[in-house]
Amino acid sequence: MMTARSLPRIVHLLIVLLVGYCVSACGYHPLTSTVVHDAGSVKSIYIPVFVNRSYRATLEAFLANSITEQFARRRGEWRIAGEGAEYLLSGTIISYDSFPVAYKYQNALQLEAVAEYRATITAEIALRKNSSRSIIWKRRLSLYQNFPANSDIAIQQNSEDAAIQEVCQKLAQDIYVSLSDDF
């Protein structure tokens, strides 16, 4: 027999069951990969700081950190390890360029002003088998990100730094996907 005290418990239980049913039916799933790899198929990789041949300081650290984050964030066939890893992913930043790509005009008689710049990074990446040092995969990648111009130098620099970070993340994603597809 139902009493006034048991009714709220039943309603509470029905609400919990209903919410559980709705959540499970809406396609919610864990963000991590559910692919199970054989322990023998997981490859260890070492990613040192890259060589920087561009005029822009710290690009090598930004790119190496972005690549390391990409590999560490994903579960799969690659595992970050130290210098004794099975594979070595090394690279060289060949160039960094920043140039105007869009202009704005005040009026027909005034000079134009830069509205947007483009930051472009070109890098050469190589994967080596650590035991033999032989190159087994190599790519030359060049990616860019536009960023707004600003008359305030500090804001301009922050925008450029954000664009550089974005390019490094895109490069890291491309490298991870290429390596995962090729191996």
pLDDT (tens digit per residue) in 117-148: 999 999 999 999 988 888 999 999 999 999 99
Residue 56 lies in a domain: yes
Q: Please identify which residue in the block is written with the tokens 């700081």.
A: 49
Residue 16 lies in a domain: no
Write the DSSP assignment of 34-73 as a string of letters. Answer: -PPPPGGG-EEEE-PPPEE-SSSTTHHHHHHHHHHHHHHH
Angle between helices 59-73 and 153-182 (to 10 degrees): 50
Question: What is the domain range of residue 49?
Answer: 42-182
Q: What's the pLDDT score for residue 36?
A: 38
C-beta separation of 136 from 45 below 8 A: no
Q: What's the pLDDT score for residue 31?
A: 40
d(CA 102, CA 149): 9
Q: What's the pLDDT score for residue 3?
A: 57
Q: What's the pLDDT score for residue 34?
A: 37
Q: Is the dihedral of CA 61, 62, 63, 64 positive or negative?
A: positive
Q: Which residues contact 181 (CB under 8 A, 6 or more apart)?
A: none
Tally of structural domains, the chain:
1
Residue 137 lies in a domain: yes
Residue 25 lies in a domain: no
Q: What's the pLDDT score for residue 32?
A: 38
| Ranges of residues in the chain whose predicted pLDDT is under 50 | 25-39
What CATH number did the domain enclosing 69 receive? 3.40.50.10610
Over the Cα atoms of the chain, what is R_g?
25
109, two tokens: 């008689």
